[in-house]
Structure formats: C-alpha cells, structure tokens
Amino acid sequence: MSYPATRLRRMRHDAFSRTLMRETVLTPGDLIMVAFVCEGSDRSEPVASMPGVARLSIDRLETLAAECVAAGIPALALFPAPGDGVKSEDAREAWNPEGLMQRAIRVLKRAHPELGLIGDVALDPYTTHGQDGLIDEHGYVMNEPTIVALTRQALAQAAAGIDFVAPSDMMDGRIGAIRAALEQAGHIHTRILAYSAKYASSFYGPFRDAVGSAGHLGKGGKHTYQMDIGNSDEALREVELDIAEGADAVMVKPGLPYLDVLYRVKQRFGMPTFVYQVSGEYAMLKAAAQHGWLDEKAVVLETLTAFKRAGADAILSYYALDAARWLRAG
C-alpha cells in the first residue's frame, strides 16, 4: 500500500501549527465601528431591527468612542439620525455648522484625537423624501444639484475636523467636485472614502430605520443611482473613475453578497479598499444567534475574516467592538 508523500492534514493537527500557517489574520486594527448619533442628552434609542444597536446622544457617543480606543479600533464611522424636525426638501441641515453631525465631530475629536472619524456624506437623513439627493418634480434624483449640496456637506464636516468624508450617494462626478472644494478650502489632509461600488441592495432596511429615512422613502427605490445587483464589471468602472477624481480609499457595499466584487477591486487597483458589513447582514447573524441557531462569536469572526481574505483593508461593522474584544481575549 502506498501512502501520500504530502499530507496537508499534518499542519492542521495542532492549534500551534494551524496558527503558524494561517494566511489571513484578523485584528482589531482591521475594524471600523459604526455608530448612529441623535439629539439629546444621556439618550440611547434602541434600533428594533438591529438588536444591540442604538442611536446615541453625543455624550453617550463619547463613551462608545472611548471603548473603541481601548479595544484597539482605529476609526469610528458616524451616521446622523437628526429627527424629522430638521428635514427639508433641499437637505440644508446637512451643512449647518451647528448641526448634529458637526457638533458630534467636534466633541469626539477633542475627546479622542487619536480616533479616526469617518463622516457619511449623503442627504437621505436630511430630506423629507428619504432619497440620497435632491429630486425634481417627477421624483428623479438630480445629479449636479445634488453634488452642490454634497460638497457643502463635506466642507462642513471638514471644517468640524472630520478625518474622512465618505460620499455614499453614488452621484456621477461627486468625488472630483468634493476633492476640488476641499483643496480650495485648505483641507488638504481631509481624506475621501468613496462608496464606489454601492449596490441597490435589499440589505439596507434596518439602517434606514436607524437614520429615520425608511418612512419618508416609502416604496421609493434608489435603483436610478445605486448599482444593479447583477453587475461587477460596472463596479470596476465606478472605482476607476473615483480613483481618477481623487479618492483616497474605495468602498464595496454590501459585504458578504459581494465578495467577488471586493476581490476584483483589490486585485485590479491595489487601492486601500474598505467593505461595509451592512445592517441587514448584522441583523441576520444577530437573529440567528439569538435563536441559538448559530454560534455568534464564531460566525462573526469567520465572516469578518472572509472580508479580509477577499482583499479588504478595513471593515465597517456594527460588530466591530464585540469582535475586537473577542480577538483581544483570544
């Protein structure tokens, strides 16, 4: 009887040798925590469709930021939930210097200057219609007027001290316009994280609940500006355009259903490439864990490792803080 000269299972036999040969290693430094900020003081408003996630007032957000620093998480991504009182057709609250987002940025940068802050640049939390941009009389999201508004929003965040502005709107040409405006205003160190391959996904529902845009959007969709779920060649074109216009990093969103896109983007461009484990992905894992159907820690770390293995340099996740703590505990 002949025996195989090579037994790949030999290196799998013990934990130490599995560790030595592991090709992809996930660390807290790969993670970005996602947080929703709301008005008020000492407020924590649970998001029903995202168990364990809440909208936090700025003082509560400070506590979360401190926890991120302690856990070794390098950055926090902020999304505003400003409430219906400030919503308008033209989203003008988005660039109010004393608006919720700008105040949160200033407080967090004073309290934790070492923590990177990423600010969402999109109009849906501020519009009465729930779209990411400005609409015409037919409800169509207009490209150029939206870019003007997004540029004002990005400048307001930069003036407040944001490290990354992150346009998530998918308008054509907005990266170039924002880059030019930042340079002209002297914000030469403000980075742009471009949501370059953002799909018109059905996985965003809980997020829209969290920021308060779901009820305003109603049955409307975002298919005229976000990418079709069946396309990946188009994603490469979008990424290439954003890089040419001055993006410092690019994003693929959602995460797990688009690992093939993530891999192609990283292989083609070699750019800092981020991925977003979105609200629907989080809600599915959380619900299964709560029912005892999955081991939460194991499946979360496996999923986050899959993002990194596919090419992600950084992963935005609502699980980031839990995951960082699990990793540090060993």
Domain ranges of the chain: 25-329
Q: Output the pLDDT for position 314.
A: 98
What's the token pair of residue 28? 């807290």
Give the residues across from 250 on adjacent strands. 194, 273
pLDDT band at 330 (very low <50, low <70, confident <90, very high): confident
Output the pLDDT for position 213: 57
Are the CB atoms for 44 and 27 separated by under 8 Å? Answer: no
pLDDT in tens, 303-329: 999 999 999 999 999 999 999 999 999
Map 182-232 to HEC letters.
Answer: HHHCCCCCCEEEEEEEEECCHHHHHHHHHHCCHHHHCCCCCCCCCECCCCC
| Residue 266 bears catalytic tag | no
**Could you tell me how far CA 144 lies from the centroid of its own chain?**
24
Q: What is the pTM of this model?
A: 0.94
pLDDT tens track for 174-186: 999 999 999 999 9
Q: Is 238 annotated as a binding residue?
A: yes
Residue 54 has pLDDT above 90, yes or no: yes
Q: Which of 87, 198, 222, 308 is catalytic?
A: 198
- Rounded Cα distance between 146 and 169, Å, is 9
What is the amino acid identity at position 242? D
3-state secondary structure of 32: strand
What is the pLDDT, as a whole number, of residue 215? 53
Calculate the dihedral angle through the C-alpha atoms of 122, 117, 308, 235, rounding to the nearest 10 degrees. Answer: 20
- Percentage of the chain with pLDDT > 70? 97
Confidence label for 91 from pLDDT (cuts 50, 70 and 90): very high
To the nearest whole number, what is the mean pLDDT of the chain? 95
Burial of 61 (0-12, 13-18, 19+ CB in 10 A): buried
Query: One of 222, 253, 266, 286 is an active-site residue; which one?
Result: 253
Between 2 and 269, the more confident residue is 269
250, 194 contact by CB (below 8 A): yes
Q: Is 219 a catalytic residue?
A: no
- Res 208 pLDDT > 90: no
CA–CA distances in Å: residue 59 to residues 31, 33, 106: 23, 17, 12
Please compute the mean of the pLDDT values over residues 167-177 and round it to a whole number: 96
Do the beta carbons of residue 192 and residue 243 sit within 8 Å?
no
Q: How far is CA 11 from CA 3, 28, 115, in A?
A: 17, 26, 39
Find the range with the poorest average confidence among 24-38, 74-88, 200-214.
200-214
- Supply the pLDDT for residue 168: 95
For residue 148, what pLDDT is reported? 97
Query: According to the model, what pLDDT value does residue 218 have?
Result: 53
According to the model, what pLDDT value does residue 147 have?
97
Q: What pLDDT score does 212 carry? A: 63
- Tens of pLDDT, residue by residue over 238-250, are 999 999 999 999 9
pLDDT at 42 over 70: yes
Residue 119 tokens read as 């600010």
Q: What share of the chain is helix, strand, coil (3-state, %, to 5)?
A: 45, 20, 35
**Average pLDDT of the residues in 180-196:** 98
80: left (phi over 0), alpha (psi -120 to 50) or beta: beta
| Number of Cα atoms under 13 Å in the Cβ half of residue 179 | 16
Give the per-residue pLDDT at 217: 57
CATH topology assigned to domain 25-329: TIM Barrel (3.20.20)
CB 254 within 8 A of CB 278: yes
